[in-house]
Structure 1
Amino acid sequence: MRVPPQRHNYQQAPAGPPQHGAPFPPSAPRSRNPFRRRSGRRLRLGRIALMVVIALLVTTIGSLFYYDSKLHRVDALASYAGRPGPTPGSTWLIVGTDSREGLSQADKDRLATGDSDGSRTDTIMLVHKPPSGKSMIISIPRDLYVDIPGNGQRKINAAFNFGGPKLLVQTVEQLTKMRIDHYGEIGFGGFADLVDAVGGVNICIDTNLRDPKAGLRLKKGCHDLNGKQALGLVRTRAFPNADLERVVNQRKFLGALMAKATSPGVVLNPFRLVPFVNGAVGSLTVDKKDHIWNLVSLAMALRGKPITTTTPNAGSQVTDDGDSLIVGSNTEEFFTYLRKGKPVPDELIQNSGGAIK
């Protein structure tokens, strides 16, 4: 006899809230994924950081091109028959002139520049960055007796008078047999402005200095020199060896100025960096092919402790141009090492004298 299957009487639960005292039915567990939330936050932060980096890059590149367009340029590195071929490394010709252009009478009085017209070279230096090793700052004494193309034997500072930057570059290249890659020129007022823009430069001197013609009066010891004082220091020839000691001071001060300009206190401080860049752009004259990034490279090459020296020579001699320094075999030997990209022996390095420690 077959037993009929049991029938279950299922009743649908009434709609609406449960009766008083009855528990709520358990809800389905909600999906939680902490890793997904963290990944989302990281993605958003990454996008924000990328946008900030892009904005900084655009601003930096825009600033570079803006300042580059403001540089004063001159055709200094022109081609000519017999010009030396490329030299290993990179070489700048840096010229400091006694130009008073742009200075008011009050500025001339404040800086004790005098009222001479025209423009002569107070400073002639090579900054040479070899393929390897330390950079060099090489002073070329203004009284060095050389052949100036088209003008015969004269003191080298006359080249700028005769033919401006182009003739001076040609004269230096013919003397050294080295190719000049970059050119920089600055006058009295621009130099003082650069020093003031970085907040002054700390310099220690080993003797009292007083030169009314240069507006200089400093006691022995260390000083934070402002633009006026710095200009007086690099101009003064009130030494037993006059210009030979002055060029030593000029080299040492240039190194100190570049060290200050590339220090974190200036580079990371817009109140120092922006005035310095504005001052450099407003006061420097460069070759028509030079750019703001070339100036940055120059500053970085000088920020360490470069080797500094005066061009070797055969001593003084009276010439048709007065008391002059004569080019000797040591002059040729010195520049031969540079042309070959080799270190210069210590016996050819001349860095004694001057007042700056």
Structure 2
Amino acid sequence: MILRIVAVLVALLLVTAVGLFFWIDSRLGGIDNALDDYEGRVADTPGTNWLLVGSDSRKGLSAAQRRKLATGRAAGQRTDSMMLLHISDAGDKPTLVSLPRDSAVTVPGKGRHKLNAAYAIGGPSLLVKTVETVTGVRVDHYMEIGFAGFVDIVDAVGGVEIDVRAAVDDPKAGLKLKKGKQVLTGDQALGYVRTRKGGALPDFERTKRQRQFLSAVVKKAASPGVLINPFTSIPLAMSATEAVLVDEGTGAFDMLSLGLAMGDSPVTTVVPFGGNESVDGGTAVKWDREKALGLFNALAEDKPVPKEIIDAG
């Protein structure tokens, strides 16, 4: 009798899980033309590459929330953070690379700009084209999330534990945190990844916090305590599918692969850089050409990134 009850419960859980999976797939929002082919596009490279973009869209935030989160009232939409995630076919650890938004790059057909200008000028498709052109790595999937979605996802998983390495007091980001491990709410997490306070190179430290946070929130979302509990898994699924935009070819199986990769403690780094360059829009960060080539060539060939390059980031 007990075995029969257990079998029925397991069957119900499986049916519920399958139903939830296809429900999530049906709710994923598509971005048309993000990965369109173009003349001279880099050939397909081994492994799977995701371009993960955090935009500064205020869509979904009330005036009160904008004041509370100190997001300002900027019109339009720009990229606040960009990361390239490489999932190896060879079984190596995934690699997560921050692409500083102020990087000096050539935007196809537009000249030298900061990297985030590609999105402002031509949206996701031009950003993808720019990233592929400057890295030689083919982008297979594109995912984007705005400020409001960011807050909702963190709150849906009950907050995320972060080890804050130094106390932060940044009114511009609506943030005041003590040093040490603590659980951040959605509001606090948004401030944490946006603040430019701390470190000799604020933008460099900012990319570290962004990678630290992304790994932490995905691990929390994929934990049994969240997934098995319908009071957390269903709100998380609703928040994530409302907040996240993906290219039209990305589905729930791809998102599952992304979650597994992020939960696998990926190797994290930032594009090596040194010095500045004047571009259209002001002063931008100049990449260390030799080290950057070493990084992106390794990803394009599905090989581990040399340790000296990882350590540089």
| CA separation of 1:205 and 1:55: change in aligned 2, threshold 3 A | closer
Alignment of 1:15-94 (within 5 A): 45=4, 49=7, 56-75=13-32, 76-94=34-52
Most deviating of 308-317 and 72-81: 308-317
Instruction: Give, as a single letter, the amino acid of the residue that structure 2 aligns with 1:337.
Output: A
CA distance in 2, matches of 1:317, 1:159: 17
> 1:296 maps to what in 2?
256
Instruction: Give, as a single letter, the amino acid of the residue that structure 2 aligns with 1:158.
Output: A
Instruction: Give, as a single letter, the amino acid of the residue that structure 1 aligns with 2:308.
Output: E
- SS for the counterpart of 2:119 is helix
RMSD (CA atoms): 2.0
CA contact (8 A) 2:51 2:143 kept: yes
CA contact (8 A) 2:28 2:241 kept: yes
Partner residue of 2:195 out of 201, 215, 236: 236
CA contact (8 A) 1:88 1:339 kept: yes
CA distance in 2, matches of 1:221, 1:236: 17
Equivalent pairs, count: 309
> 1:245 maps to what in 2?
205
| Deviation (angstroms), 1:183 | 0.7
CA contact (8 A) 1:209 1:216 kept: yes
Instruction: Give, as a single letter, the amino acid of the residue that structure 2 aligns with 1:83.
Output: R
User: What is the TM-score normalised by the length of structure 1?
Assistant: 0.82
CA distance in 1, matches of 2:54, 2:311: 21
CA contact (8 A) 1:314 1:330 kept: no
> 2:292 maps to what in 1?
331
- SS for the counterpart of 1:60 is helix
| Deviation (angstroms), 1:317 | 3.0
CA contact (8 A) 2:272 2:312 kept: no
> 1:110 maps to what in 2?
68
CA distance in 2, matches of 1:280, 1:179: 25
CA distance in 2, matches of 1:316, 1:189: 33
Alignment of 1:277-316 (within 5 A): 277-316=237-276
Instruction: Give, as a single letter, the amino acid of the residue that structure 2 aligns with 1:342.
Output: K
Partner residue of 1:145 out of 104, 108, 127: 104
CA distance in 2, matches of 1:350, 1:100: 35
Partner residue of 1:97 out of 52, 55, 60: 55
> 1:197 maps to what in 2?
156
- SS for the counterpart of 2:272 is coil
- Please give the per-residue CA displacement for 1:83-113, whole angstroms capped at 9, x wherever unaligned: 1122111111000011001211122122221
Instruction: Give, as a single letter, the amino acid of the residue that structure 2 aligns with 1:346.
Output: K
CA contact (8 A) 2:175 2:188 kept: yes
Please identify which structure carries the higher helix content.
2
- Please give the per-residue CA displacement for 1:296-327, whole angstroms capped at 9, x wherever unaligned: 11111111321100012343234443221223
> 1:34 maps to what in 2?
none
- SS for the counterpart of 1:203 is strand
CA distance in 1, matches of 2:67, 2:269: 33
- SS for the counterpart of 1:349 is helix
- Please give the per-residue CA displacement for 1:147-185, whole angstroms capped at 9, x wherever unaligned: 111211111000000010011001001011111111100
CA contact (8 A) 2:104 2:277 kept: no
CA contact (8 A) 1:145 1:156 kept: yes
- SS for the counterpart of 1:315 is strand
> 2:309 maps to what in 1?
348
Q: Which runs of 4+ in 1 moved over 6 A?
A: none
Partner residue of 1:210 out of 169, 175, 182: 169
| Deviation (angstroms), 1:135 | 0.7
- SS for the counterpart of 2:82 is strand
| Deviation (angstroms), 1:243 | 1.2
Q: Whose Rg is larger? A: 1
| Deviation (angstroms), 1:55 | 5.0
| Percent identical | 46
Most deviating of 322-331 and 94-103: 322-331
| Deviation (angstroms), 1:272 | 1.2
CA contact (8 A) 1:103 1:189 kept: yes
CA distance in 1, matches of 2:45, 2:215: 23
> 1:226 maps to what in 2?
185
- Please give the per-residue CA displacement for 1:249-308, whole angstroms capped at 9, x wherever unaligned: 000111111111111211121111111111110100000010122111111111132110
- Please give the per-residue CA displacement for 1:311-344, whole angstroms capped at 9, x wherever unaligned: 1234323444322122312211211111111111
